[in-house]
Amino acid sequence: MANVYLIGAGPGDPGLLTIKGREILERADVVIYDYLANKVFLDFCRDDAQIIYVGKKGGDHTLPQDKINELIVQKAREGHVVARLKGGDPYVFGRGAEEGEELLDAGIDFEVVPGVTSAVAGPAYAGIPLTHRKYASSVSFITGHEDPTKGESAHNWESLAKGTSTLVFFMGVKNLPHITANLIQAGMDPDTPAALVRWGTTCRHFSMVSTVGNIAEDAVKQGIKPPSLLVVGHVVCLRDRLNFFEKRPLLGKGVVVTRARKQASGLVARLGELGACCYEFPTIRIKPLDDYGQVQEALAGLDTYDWILFTSVNGVVHFWDQLRQTGRDARALGGRKIAAIGPATARELEARGVFPDFVPEKYVAESVVQGLLKRGIQGKNVLVPRAKKAREVLPEGLRNAGCRVDVLPVYETVLAEDGQQEVLDGLASGDIHCLTFTSSSTVENFFALVEPDVVKSFVDKGLAIAVIGPVTAKTLATYGLAARIQPEEYTVPALAQAVAEVLGNHHA
């Protein structure tokens, strides 16, 4: 087994990291990483792993290459398993081979874990295959980072210009006029199709098509900047037909997700599938109670309740933790009727072998009470495991209907005070287009960290606010703001879809 792994992180889409790459990140003691198009890869690392950023972004190097080499060697000699995480593929313009040689010279074993190179993935997401039986049977990968003032080019421009290969230039935007002029001077037809792909495979992905003769001028008009790839060849003609990624309705739209981090994954994943750039701003943090004495007393007396009503996934998780810690399992719920407020809560119960007797069609207190009354809950003993601080509408509604209700706090929510600067910067730059709120507590905690007047100023400039349902909308209104987006069904998938319908880039 190697001590050091040179891992390719791919071009940015987290789904393109290899399984082997993820497995190594999950067990590495030290992770040394360059600038990454997507930092979600770092979430795979162990909580106790040492994570070291060494820069290497477009000439801005936090640590020079020789110092990076020394650092990798040092950490390996200390006996650590070291993951060296690099964008794209380590051996495709990634200087991975240099790091490998340095390790061998130091007597340290290493392995390479190839990554998906942006040269393949970026054009593919833009609808440009690098080879096609009709247009090109070979591909050339070329650095575009050559100094145009140096005496002699390392490239054989005549071979590149007169061959039938698809040409892919890395880091070519800065020298675009120099590259295209050399190709034309060496004999390439100025009308040869050419494309630029910027931030390929990420939520900021953008592509444009032109010709070798015009693309330098067109790039200036469109404001194209690094990081971008230049693709030259007749395969570019297929872009409009094969382009799938740019049809995603929320591509390039910045959306803030305010759920607690563990609960945010579903909304983040769905918005990501729709193309959005998600800013995770977990305004609440879920934490266990300091004292579970009351919970354990309730668990000892479960047979005194007729119904147990779960109002959230967190309620199920923390209730079950205590159930197991007291030596019980799902059998302790035998003979009780079980209600779940929402499909996600129902799924959490089903995963534990408990299938709810009631899941309301609408997830507001009034509808829940009506549905339970139809199922004979009137006059029954009801246990409601939930957050320490929560709305009293549902318990009061049940009490008014003649039920005896015990509210049982099994966890609490506290203010999470990090991430607001990234959101404020994103609002100021115009990169954020929507705020999403999935509960009243996310609204309240958001505005404990961000002044309502600040948000109002951006709403006046077009910022949209999306809420999961009428209760959350009512809480938002207390801060002088109105929701522009609210789904008919009060679920996370419906919320994401509603955002896409209102803010989406719609394609014919």
Residues serving a catalytic function are: 34, 56, 171
CA dihedral 52, 53, 54, 59 (to 10 degrees): 180
CB 258 within 8 A of CB 281: yes
Sheet holding 277-280, edge to edge: 277-280, 254-257, 434-437, 464-467
List b or e across 417-445, with b for residues whose CB sees 16 or more CB atoms inside 10 angstroms: eebeeebbebbeeeebbbbbbbbbbbbbb
Residues whose CB is less than 8 angstroms from the CB of residue 228 and which lie 6 or more positions away in sequence, other chains included: 172, 173, 196, 197, 198, 199
CA distance 183 to 185: 6
Provide the sign of the torsion angle of the four alpha carbons 339, 341, 343, 346, taken in this order.
Answer: negative
Q: 379 exposed, middle or buried (CB, 10 Å; 0-12, 13-18, 19+)?
A: exposed
Single-letter residue type at 27: R
Tokens 């890395």, residue located: 170
Q: In angstroms, rounded to a whole number, what is the distance separating the alpha carbons of residues 405 and 188?
A: 80
423, HSE (Cβ side, Cα atoms, 13 Å): 26
